Chains A and B, each alone.
Chain A
């Protein structure tokens, strides 16, 4: 079956522009993470969605970052007024139903480059 998908795979934008990154989790997965991986760094937690609960947004680095999850499925991460330090790979991961967060299923990532 299809795994987690993300689009676009690559995005180059100019400083100050807004970008929207998309994540399609595995069907039926109730929980979803967004992570950021800057060059040479580990994965940095950004946000966590679980079912209909309020998301944990504690990892979002600034108010320029926001994320939504519509209908408990597709999620979009929006970065407004992009800065060069936003350049990174953005990873999405989903968790199977039941809530056990041991196994995250990762997408291929979106590589964002801000010029």
Chain B
């Protein structure tokens, strides 16, 4: 079955602490994974995609096919990182499966 699992509904960390938002997927094909973010009172937007191997706002995510994971990491959390984060798997050329999301709260 095709599935994206984000095990944490809520993750609270202190400012300056490292952050890791977990994402695991189940897919028999070649996975394409993304992280989307929704800041308070803003729209859902793309944060990063695994294929680009980019760092956006200090966040990185590495695709680990052995562990079927795509965890989102940042070494030093900032208060402005507080948001809802969704991991998404694209199957085929356009169809997406989203996880249930993790709310990140960065405490001062």
Which residue numbers of A lie inside 8 Å of B, CB to CB? Answer: 3-4, 31, 33, 35, 40-45, 48, 50, 56, 58, 91, 93, 95, 99, 101-108
> A42-B101, A101-B90 are known contacts. Are A48 and B43 too (CB-CB below 8 A)?
no
> A41-B100, A42-B101, A43-B86 are known contacts. Are A102 and B95 too (CB-CB below 8 A)?
no
Instruction: Specify which chain A residues have a CB less than 8 angstroms from the CB of B43 in the assembled complex.
Output: 3-4, 106-108
| A-B contact number at CB 8 A | 54
Q: Is the CB of B86 within 8 A of A91?
A: no
Instruction: Specify which chain A residues have a CB less than 8 angstroms from the CB of B46 in the assembled complex.
Output: 102-104
Q: Is the CB of B44 within 8 A of A91?
A: yes
Instruction: Specify which chain A residues have a CB less than 8 angstroms from the CB of B34 in the assembled complex.
Output: 102
Q: Is the CB of A45 within 8 A of B97?
A: yes
Choose from A4, A41, A101 the contact partner of B93 (Cβ within 8 Å): A101
> Complex formed: what's the CA distance from A56 to B96 in Å?
12
Besides A33-B94, A106-B43, 10 other A-B contacts (C-beta < 8 A): A3-B43, A4-B43, A35-B98, A40-B100, A42-B99, A42-B100, A42-B101, A44-B98, A45-B97, A103-B46
Q: In the complex, which range does the number of interface residues on chain B fall in?
A: 20 to 34
B45 within 8 A of A: yes
Instruction: Specify which chain B residues have a CB less than 8 angstroms from the CB of A42 in the assembled complex.
Output: 4, 6, 86, 97-101
Instruction: Specify which chain B residues have a CB less than 8 angstroms from the CB of A4 in the assembled complex.
Output: 43
> Complex formed: what's the CA distance from A103 to B45 in Å?
8
